[in-house]
Amino acid sequence: MKKGDYITNGEYTRKVFAVIDEDLIAYSIPWSAEEPEEIKKASENSFNSFDLKTHLEKAGWKVVEKEWRPEDLKKGDKYWYISDWDVATSPTVWDNDKTDLYRLKAKNVFKDQESAEEALKKIME
């Protein structure tokens, strides 16, 4: 668990606002899992609870895996693309330059090699 993560126990979802000494977690007030927009609006001033990471895990709380989106890449993040030079998949690093933005607009930015190769297969059919 780290700052900015969302945690859930299946019934409620909460946002982690701080992790102190790797085991003390400050998190937001509970909202139902059906209200994700309200969770996103929560600010660091709205947390109301602290607990030990080990207690949360034993109680069934776990980190909600965020869906990977190319629009969320930050400078230095690795991604894969389909090279038009040799019609193969290649890894690279996001620099937020013209080339990256062109690939993003062309929907040629992939999380991993497997995703890029799957897209290449579809193109070659």
Token pair of 109, please? Answer: 């930015």
Confidence check: pLDDT of 90 > 70: yes
In this prediction, residues 98-111 reach a mean pLDDT of: 96
Confidence band for 110, pLDDT divided at 50, 70 and 90: very high
Amino acid at 99: T
In this prediction, residues 28-35 reach a mean pLDDT of: 54
Determine how many CB atoms are found less than 10 A away from the CB of residue 35: 12
Confidence band for 94, pLDDT divided at 50, 70 and 90: very high
pLDDT digits (tens, 9 = 90+) for 44-85: 455 567 688 888 888 888 888 878 899 989 999 999 999 988
Q: Considering only 65-69, 74-78, 97-101, 105-109, which range has the smallest mean pLDDT?
A: 65-69
pLDDT digits (tens, 9 = 90+) for 10-31: 887 787 877 888 777 777 765 4
Q: Give long-range contacts, CB 8 A cutoff, 24+ apart: 60-63.
A: 60/9, 60/10, 61/7, 61/8, 61/9, 62/7, 62/8, 62/9, 63/1, 63/5, 63/6, 63/7
pLDDT at 32: 47
Alpha carbons 59 and 95: distance in angstroms, whole number: 41
